[in-house]
Structure formats: structure tokens, C-alpha cells
Amino acid sequence: MIDIRYSAEVAAARAEGRPIVALESTIITHGMPAPRNLEVARGVEALIRDGGATPATIAVMDGRLHVGLEPAELDALGHASDVAKLSRADLAACLATGGTGATTVAATMIAARLAGIAVFATGGIGGVHKGAETSFDISADLQELGQSPVTVVAAGAKAILDLPKTLEVLETLGVPVIAFGQDDFPAFWSPSSGLAAPLRMDDPAAIARAHLMRGAMGLPGGQLVANPIPAGDAIPAETLAPIIAQAQARADAQGVSAKAVTPFLLQAIFEATDGRSLESNIALVENNARLAARIAHAIGSEAGK
């Protein structure tokens, strides 16, 4: 029924049982401006191959769920206009109506589960937005982490979100939040949010064993691996705080809501930092891709023990 289209390299990796790392496509279509978006998408795929794993960029094209995009398909997605942003609520409807859309963290996790892919690399997850107590804006990414068995490697969550509330919701949903190699929960553009992460692991093999243990216990849901941005690529939180506040105020004043909030804030911050936020964003995504490839390998070798 679900006609999954695998790219040639993903099909080969599946047949041979080699490690695969899923990648989302909303970051390409809604998260980064052209033409850097496509360069980054290709570069991140190359880093995963360098790490000995196979990249599977996920998107819906003409009503078909693609797990792994051929180079021409990736180009087509990067150049297409009016690509839908697909979260859990939209994915089946897009497939059923022959649409084209990019997958968020939530939708990418669903596709990864269907394809049997355990590990997924991205930039930052969606979370609880500032002012959620009145707007109710809480990303479906959090619920998905509570239900789909995928280990997601992200640089924490953006400072555009309410990080304490985001961590509280993840705890409520039973999602392990694992800081990699440090005690603090990272804050996307900064290595530390000033908040302690609930868990810390320093070794991809430990993350792999925890992933497998959840499966063995029949626990639904995934893990969030929070991988700090390399210090040299970070933007100090003090520099960003007023910029974020201003972007948020503009979003509120213009009545930006629902799916449009995250892309609006990202673009406003990109402009206010003269593009520096994008350079940091690229560096952290690359860093996450490298770690995800190591975790995917470790899951393969730990599963065989």
C-alpha cells in the first residue's frame, strides 16, 4: 500500500544490512535559503558516506514517499517552489493526494520507522515555543519522539524555543534526552543552554545500546541525542538573545502562526546576523551527521553481539 521509493544506494544498503542515516528535507526547503540549502544537503550526505553509512534524505514527491533521493531528485526538491511542510498531521494526506512536500523531524521519523532506519541526523528539533501558555504552539516533533523508535541526533533545540518547557514535555513523554560528551543541554547555536541535560553519554556505543534496550523492552518512542555545536562555530547566547526577542516580537505583531512560525523566525535571525546564523547552522548539522553515522555503525555492531 505504501509505495516507498528507495534510492539505489539506500536499496543496496538495506539489502546488505549496512548502516543508514535518515535526513529530513524541511531543513532544505524551509530551513535554509537557496543556494546554500542544496550545497548543504549534498555536503551532509557526503559526510555520512565518509562516515561509512548511507544517507537517506526523505521527502514526498508527486505522492510517493522517497527514502533516499537520487541527485536529480534532490535538485528538483531544492528548486521547487511551494513545497509543503509535512509533519505527522500532513504526511498521509500529501501521499493520498499526489502532493510534494518536505518532511519535518516528526514526518522523517515516521518514514524512517517504515523503512527500518534507526538513526536520523538533523539540525534542531521543534519544541515548545515561547508564549506556548497562550499560543499552545508545541511542535509535533516532541510527540513523535515519544512514539517512533528512532534515535534523533540534533544540536539541542533552538533558543527561539522555551527550552525549560521543551525539556519538561520530553520528560513527560518519556523521551531520553542524552547530551553527548557534556553535562549541559546544548542550545543549537550555543554549546550550552545553561540547563542540565537529563542524561549524558560520551560514547556512540552506549547510545546504541540504549536504543537497542528500548526496543528489547518494547518501549515505543525514540531518543534525542543533543550534540553540542563545535565551540568555534558557535554564536554567543548574549549576542543572539536580543535578536531572537526582536524576531519573536515581529512574528507576534504580524500574526505569524502554526507552521509558518519556525521558518519566519529562522529567516529573521538569518537577516539580523548577516548570515552568521546560517554558517553556524551548517556547521552543527555537519557535526550531527558525523555523530549519527557513528551511532548507526554502533547499532549494527552492538545488535550483532
CB 58, min distance to ligand PSU, A: 11
Rule CB under 6 A: say whether 140 interacts with ligand PSU: yes
Q: How far is residue 71's CA from residue 144's CA, in Å, rounded to a whole number?
A: 28
7 binds, among Mn ion, ligand PSU, none (CB under 5 to 8 A by kind): none
Cell of 179: 547530551
Q: How far is residue 215's CA from residue 195's CA, in Å, rounded to a whole number?
A: 28
Could you give the string, one character per residue 70-99, with x where binding to ligand PSU holds by CB under 6 A and - elsewhere? Answer: -----------------x------------
Query: Could you say which of 45, 130, 144, 158 is catalytic?
Result: 158
Rule CB under 6 A: say whether 130 interacts with ligand PSU: no
Mapping DSSP to helix (H, G, I), strand (E, B) and coil, where does residue 46 land?
helix
- 33, 32, 16: which is closest to 24 by C-alpha? 32
Q: Contacts with Mn ion in 106-145 (CB under 5 A)?
A: 137
Cell of 235: 554564536
Residues 70, 37 contacting (CB under 8 angstroms): no
Rg (CA), the chain: 18
Distance of CA 115 to the CA centre of its chain: 17
Of the pair 24, 137, the CB lying nearest Mn ion is at: 137
By beta-carbon distance, which residue lies closest to ligand PSU? 31
Is 158 one of the annotated active-site residues of the chain?
Answer: yes
Just list the catalytic residues: 24, 158
Q: Under the rule (CB under 6 A), what is the footprint of ligand PSU?
A: 24, 26-27, 30-31, 87, 104-105, 123-124, 126, 139-141, 158, 259, 262
Q: Under the rule (CB under 5 A), what is the footprint of Mn ion?
A: 137
